[in-house]
Structures are given as structure tokens and as C-alpha cells.
Chains A and B, each alone.
Chain A
Amino acid sequence: MDVIQDIIVYYSQNAGYVWEQFYRHFLMSAYGVLFAAIVAIPLGILIARHHKLSTWVISLANIIQTIPALAMLAVLMLVMGLGTNTVVFSLFLYSLLPIIKNTYTGIRNVDHALLESGKAMGMTKFQVLRMVELPLAMSVIMAGLRTALVITIGIATIGTFIGAGGLGDIILRGTNATDGTAIILAGAIPTALMAVIADIVMGYLEKKLSPNKKRKCTQHQQQAT
């Protein structure tokens, strides 16, 4: 019970600071995913078109994914120096794989008959992409963004080692302090919460963007009646 009390005391005394770090933490993750999305979605579409490229690109993204986060940060630090930018860049790299993979899968899974009828109706390639492929692949792409965001929120915690701030700062302080359990938790709980909320919100968006959402609705209605 002491710990909980300590946490409450910590929050009441440092509310502004915690909120600031929380916000900073979120921004780093979001920017990482956002930049990754800007690169990875077009890349995913490209490799869906050019099948042969896909193995190469996805293997490369896989390799990036296997590098331990701490090692990645350390190496990037050597090149880019300390600070937020380095962290955002590493988060960008970690987000690539889930987004590329999901975009690729989403686009590849669009029914061939739909593509053909779109083309035969006189859609340009871009129109097929915009009016058929993207809407139908959107929920899968969103699932990729969701995974990426949850991963980056976790990884952003260690950004504190290269002076990027975020909730990791609080956790690190707790580990350095004697009897710092409460402080560690005070940093860890908001991190976990952020990840959970991000997951729920993105999950909701994913469902919302699903082309078959109407089917689910009507099925529910039918079951209800």
C-alpha cells in the first residue's frame, strides 16, 4: 500500500513534469510511426506491384527488426549524436516492417476479380489504387500501423539513454534512486497505459475502416432480432 501511496504523492507533486514527459514520449512514437508510414505504405504498394522486389524489401525490414533496440540506438547515436531525432529515427526503422508487410499483404489480398472489373470499367491505375485497392486494404494497413505504434511506444522508453526524454526518464530515475519502486512504476504505468490506449484507439479505427463493417453490423442486427 505504501507504494501506491508513494506513487500518488509522486504524481501530485510532479503532475506537470509527468504530463510533459508523457506527451513527449507519445510524440516521439507518433512521429516515428508517421514518418515510417510515409515511406512504408508507398513501398508496400510498390512491392505488391513488383512481386520480385518483395522478398528483398521484407527481408531487409526483418533484419532491421532483429537488431536489439539498445544497440540500434547506440550505433545511430554515433552517427546522429544525442537527442530526440536519433530516437525518432530508430523508431522509424522499427516501424517499417509491420507497415510494409501489412500494406503488402493488404494490397495483394484484394480480390483479383475486383481489380479486373475496376480496370475494365475504365479506371486508370491510380483510380484503381485509390478507389479499390486502398479502401479494401485499409483495415489491414491500419493493423500494421497499430502494431508499429505499440512497438514504438515500448522502444521509446530507452530513448532516455541518449537524452531524448520521455517516460523513460522517470523510470531511469527510479532505478537510480534508493528504494525507487514507486518512481519506476510512476514511469512504467503511463507507458503501459499509453500502449493500451493506442492499441484500443487504432483497433477502433481499423474496424471503422474495414470494408466489411456493414456486414458485421447487419449480422448483429439479425442476431438481435
Chain B
Amino acid sequence: MLKFDNVSKVYKGGKKAVQNLTLEFEKGEFICFIGPSGCGKTTTMKMINRLIEPTGGSISINGVNIMDKDPVQLRREIGYVIQQIGLFPHMTIQENISLVLKLLKWPEEKRRERAKELLTLVDMTPDYLEKYPHELSGGQQQRIGVLRALAADQPLILMDEPFGALDPITRDSLQEEFKKLQKKLDKTIVFVTHDMDEAIKLADRIVIMRDGQLVQCDTPDEILRNPADEFVEEFIGKDRLVQARPNIQTVEQIMNPNPSTITGDGTLSEAIQLMKQNRVDSLLVVDENKVLQGFIDVEIIDQKRKKATRVSDVVESELFTVEKGTLVRDTIRKILKRGMKYVPVIDEEKRLIGIVTRASLVDIVYDSIWGEDEISNIG
């Protein structure tokens, strides 16, 4: 939907604000640009609606180069929210919200209708329509600022530290509200901030910039797990990296490395015996190289034991697996969602290396509740 192709901005006097930026974003993505001040994040954002003209490369929206469009027309199709809110003090809330619609020459009646409809999105009553901006609190004003950017149902919205000037509590609730709104309306958002917490909370993808260059562009998880370099690490901050650790445990750390297995040429009675011996109700089927073939359980054996004798005849190969290195969090979610009893863990060559069962989950929960206590008791 939004594509940067080798975009540069060099100001008069040779200051390079943005250098050779190449990025691509999908529709509905929430993208945070983050970096220290002067890193070119705001410049990058402003180039999208041509408040600043790029000096090199091209930016395209839905395949259309923005330089081929009339800048005024372009800006009417892109929402814009700034830190200073920028509501017009001489206009009522309704006029403020529907200003873009007025520019687009909507009739008065429809503009009013739309303004009312938008107010309900942020749980404000229609009697605010006739008020003036200064009669509202800062948080309410910025809600109106956001609504103004949504008025013409623009698919793309640019936000320049929109919650930066608000107090922390208001900011927090507005962030949550806004994230929900974005999910609901499926907008593509380009969000500039210098607050890492905000970026992690809101973004689908974070673009970290320094000195006009792209340092890393990835999901918040990935950035926390694999910071590209020391700069990113420092920027994220040690605290957050430590905090993020419990969430980034991999399955290897919690799996049972010795699952009960049987090879394909074993017989069904051997399988039953093995189950009884290990007190399990299913066995993972592997070949001689420990490559996972599938599984068999008591029910399968019970149904088919008259027709078949070998494990390879009845093996159920439809089996959900995870690769080693998968996040525990993701694995747990899948186990719980699909109602599975266990998930085999395999390596790159599909060799079985372990299993995560519901018992492993119990261990995790136990650790997280009692683990720290134990440590402190010892200490």
C-alpha cells in the first residue's frame, strides 16, 4: 500500500535528513517510526503527504507515485494528526471535524451527520458538536484531532507524536482507544514517536532510524528479541530487554526432550505395550533417523487393530508441530486455541527433538507463580 523506494531528502546547505530509505507497508498495518530527535523520522512522515518534498527516490501509495498527484488532492486523501493538536479555535467541534469534508465539497447536512457518527466512535455525546475547542480537555481535543483525520475515511493516516503532549494517564487510555479504533477501521497508520513504550504497545512494525538511515524495521517482538545492533539495544533500554525475556523463551527451554516414540515398522501390540509402560495414550512415530512421521494413539489402535498389524499402516500423519526456536508464548496460544494435548518439537530437518505437553504448561505456570518466591526464600 505504501512504498518507499530509495527515498532521500537533502536540505539546502547539504544536510542529509533522510538517506536511501527503502520500505514497504501493507494495508492495515500500524507502523511506528522511532529514533532520537533529528533522526529524520518526522521528515520521512511529512514526505508522504508532501509537506516536505523528497529530493531523491520515489514514494508510492497503492502503486501511484505521490509526485504525480496534485499535493492538495493528495493531502485530502491522507489523514494527519499532530502533537499540538491544531484544532481551529474559531470553529466549533463540528466544523473542525468536518473541515476536510467541506474542502471535498460535501453538503452541510451530510457533514453534520458524519461528525455525529464520528463522535460516537470515541464515546462523546453529540452536544460537543456546538462547543469550541478550548472548552474541551486536552485528551478530548486530541480525540477530536484524531476524528478529524478520520472524517473522509482516508485509508492512510499520518500521526506526528499525537499523544506526546498529554499527561500519562490520558495518553495511556487514548493509546488503547486508538489501537482498538485502528483495528476496527482497518486503517494504515504511520506513527512518529520517540517513546519506545508507545511504539511497542501500538505498532505492528517498528521502524528504527538514526541519522536519516534505517537501522531496523521489524515487529516489536523481533526487535526486542534480536536488536540489530548496539544502538537499537541502547535505544530500547536494558529494562525492556529484561522485561521482554520471559516472553521470548523458546520451546526448547521447556520441552520434554525424551518423548515416547515408536518406529514405523513396529507392531501395534508393541505400541500398546510401550504406551502402558510409559503411561501415555499416544506415541510419536519416527523413522530410523528420528524424522517425525506422525502419531498413533489408543483410539486409532482400538479402531484398526483388526485390519492392520504394523504401526506404519495406521499412522496418522496430520500432526501439528512447532520448530525449535518458536516462542513459548506462541506455542501455548496454539495449544490452548486448538485444544491439543501436546505439540512435538522438531528441528530444521524435521527430526523429533522433544515434546511440549500440557504438563509443560503447568510447569511454566508453577514457575511463574512460585518460582520467584523460592528464589527469594533462598536469598
A binding-site residues for B, Cβ under 8 Å: 111, 113-114, 116-124, 127, 131-132, 135-136, 211-212, 214-215, 218
Is the CB–CB distance between B88 and A132 below 8 Å? Answer: yes
Q: Please list the 3 inter-chain residue pairs (A to B) with the smallest Cβ-Cβ separation, ordered nearest first.
A: A122-B76, A117-B86, A113-B84
Question: Complex Cα distance A124/B77, Å?
Answer: 14
Within 8 Å CB of A124, what residues of B?
Answer: 72
CB distance from B88 to the nearest CB of A (A): 6
Please measure, in the bound complex, the distance between the C-alpha atom of A131 and the C-alpha atom of B77, giving whole angstroms.
19
In the docked arrangement, what's the CA distance between A56 and B277, Å? 100
| Best-surrounded residue of A117, A122, A212, A218 (most CB of chain B within 10 A) | A122
18 chain-A/chain-B pairs, Cβ below 8 angstroms = A111-B86, A113-B84, A117-B82, A117-B86, A119-B75, A120-B51, A120-B78, A121-B75, A122-B75, A122-B77, A123-B72, A131-B88, A131-B99, A136-B89, A136-B90, A212-B89, A215-B132, A218-B135
Q: How far is the CA of A116 from the CA of B45 in the complex (A)?
A: 14
A-contact bits for B98-127, CB 8 A (1 contact / 0 none): 011001000000000000000000000000
Find out whether the CB atom of A114 lies under 8 angstroms from the CB atom of B72: no
Q: Which one of B74, B78, B85, B89 has the highest number of Cβ atoms from chain A below 10 Å of its Cβ?
A: B89
Q: Who on chain A is nearest to B76 by CB? A: A122
Q: Identify A121's interface contact among B84, B85, B99, CB under 8 A.
A: B99
Residues of A within 8 A of B72 (CB): 122-124
CB-CB under 8 A from B90, the residues of chain A are 135-136, 211
Q: Is B191 an interface residue (CB 8 A)?
A: no
**Cα–Cα distance between A132 and B85 once the two chains are bound (Å):** 15
B134 x A116 contact (CB < 8 A): no
Tell me which residues from 71 to 97 in chain B have a Cβ below 8 Å from any Cβ of chain A.
Answer: 72-78, 80, 82, 84-86, 88-90
Chain A residues lying within 8 Å of B86, measured Cβ to Cβ, are: 111, 113-114, 116-117
Within 8 Å of chain A (Cβ to Cβ): is B49?
yes
Task: Using CB atoms and an 8 Å cutoff, list the residues of chain B in contact with chain A.
Answer: 49, 51, 72-78, 80, 82, 84-86, 88-90, 99-100, 103, 132, 134-135, 148, 158
Task: Please report the C-alpha to C-alpha distance between residue A132 and residue B90 in the assembled complex, in whole angstroms.
Answer: 8
Instruction: Looking at the assembled complex, report how far the CB atom of B50 sits from the nearest CB atom of chain A, in whole angstroms.
Output: 10
Inter-chain CA distance A153–B366, complex, in Å, is: 90
What separation, in Å, do the CA atoms of A136 and B87 have in the docked complex?
A: 12
Contact of B103 among A111, A121, A215 (CB under 8 A): A121
From B73, B84, B85, B158, A122 is in contact (CB under 8 Å) with B73
Nearest Cβ in chain A — how far from B93, in angstroms? Answer: 12
Q: How far is the CB of A162 from chain B (nearest CB, A)?
A: 44
Closest to A117 in B: B86
Q: Shortest beta-carbon distance, B216 to chain A, in Å?
A: 28
With both chains docked as a complex, state the minimum distance between the C-beta of A34 and any C-beta of chain B, in angstroms: 25
Nearest CB on B from A213, distance (A): 9
A211 and B75 form a contact (CB under 8 A): no
**Smallest beta-carbon distance A30→chain B, Å:** 27
Whole-angstrom distance between the alpha carbons of A120 and B81 in the complex?
9
Complex Cα spacing A215 to B136, Å = 11
Q: Contacts A113-B84, A116-B82 known; A122 to B89 CB distance under 8 Å?
A: no
List 13 additional contacts besides A121-B148, A131-B88; criterion CB under 8 Å.
A111-B84, A113-B82, A114-B86, A118-B88, A120-B49, A120-B78, A120-B80, A120-B158, A122-B76, A127-B103, A211-B89, A214-B132, A218-B135
Instruction: Name the residue in B77, B90, B99, B158 with the highest tally of chain A Cβ atoms < 10 Å from its Cβ.
Output: B90
